[in-house]
Structure 1
């Protein structure tokens, strides 16, 4: 069987591919910023010795339930619930907004547990030294415990961010114009599905490598004070 590949037919649709890359990166960057902040807040509530002994019981229960629910259900179910389920309750969302919310909620749950593990690995001596200087709980958390915790768990958090970015490929199922949506549209036009998904797979690989490099550089340069 002689198979002739025609990548030119796919690459000629470069505006669609460029739009897909832009949406994938935009959704990922926004979800990283908001989801990481959500994870830090959730970790503060759940980490022993920080927020867990100060947060009200109902808040701890809500955060625990949120983390367990998200970590034990598929991302596509979460996405469909937000996009198809919330309108039934009166919350109508665009495909792009539903995708962003789903990615933020998903990353926030995983980031909560990753950051909590780093916080609970903070040496007690550091906390006691900060307390002896009469620092408040908030100051101890933000300036003594959180920076070294982020340093410890940064590789794990970066890996989770990459997973969320790759998971955005299912957002095309609700017509978000990311990369997988572009592949579906291209192959429906020229019937070159094999070539279309090879090209999009290569773009996902390139984005993953670039994102990992950029996040590692960001951590080393700005968060941890070294190059």
Structure 2
């Protein structure tokens, strides 16, 4: 159990770091795709399609085994974190893009009519409602990325799956090792899921009514402003 607990801690650390870095990357790429003219969106589109249509294991191998050939050496843990961040960033880009596109254009125009700054429009009219709408999808993607961290054991990262592999190699008790690891993954997924939903309720729950009221008010103002 001490080895499994140590692996569990590393899994949690990798997951939290990847969720923070990957969601930040995804939000930035989604904003660039939203703000850039159509002719300049191809680098972001290429990144999203390339990552989403190639296996995570291949991406991990390229970072850990491929980059050293060009002079870029990273540790196994760092390679795992980089691969998880890049992979999660591509998936969250599409999720954020869907949320941003769901914000009605008239609400943004109403924000301009109310003399709000671009930062205020982005924070209050675009970002919060967009993230609120796609939060369940983000939570599911975060949980999937936590489970995907088990692939990092292929490059000798001693996270939970790596610890289970080491234990079963030493004791030849594969069933016991993996059933305990599976139970720990299940518990971690449940805790992460409910924790993220609680975070969403704390951030959006009390403000949801105000966001909807502001959206309704700005939409009505935009309609009245039309000739």
TM-score range, shorter chain: 0.7 to 0.9
Match of 2:147 in 1: 166
Q: CA deviation at 1:226?
A: 5.9
Q: CA deviation at 1:138?
A: 3.8
Match of 2:118 in 1: 137
Q: CA deviation at 1:144?
A: 1.3
Higher helix share: 2
Query: What is the root-mean-square deviation of aligned Cα atoms in Å?
Result: 1.6
Q: CA deviation at 1:63?
A: 1.2
The one of 36, 43, 47 aligned to 1:52: 36
The answer to whether the Cα contact below 8 Å between 1:79 and 1:98 also exists between their aligned partners in 2 is yes
Change (3 A) 1:224 1:43: farther
Q: CA deviation at 1:136?
A: 3.7
Q: How does 1:1-227 map to 2 (within 5 A)?
A: 14-47=1-34, 51-53=35-37, 57=40, 60-225=41-206
Alpha-carbon separation, structure 1, partners of 2:141 and 2:79: 20
Alpha-carbon separation, structure 1, partners of 2:71 and 2:204: 41
Alpha-carbon separation, structure 2, partners of 1:120 and 1:147: 13
Structure 2 spans left out of the alignment, 5+ residues: 209-227
Structure 1 spans left out of the alignment, 5+ residues: 1-13
Cα offsets for 1:162-188 (capped at 9, x unmatched): 111101101011111111101100001
Q: CA deviation at 1:223?
A: 4.4
TM-score, normalising length from structure 1?
A: 0.87
Aligned length: 208
Q: Which portions of structure 1, spanning 4 or more consecutive aligned residues, are displaced by more than 6 angstroms?
A: none
TM-score, normalising length from structure 2?
A: 0.87
SS of aligned partner of 2:73 = coil
Alpha-carbon separation, structure 1, partners of 2:25 and 2:205: 20
Alpha-carbon separation, structure 1, partners of 2:120 and 2:58: 39
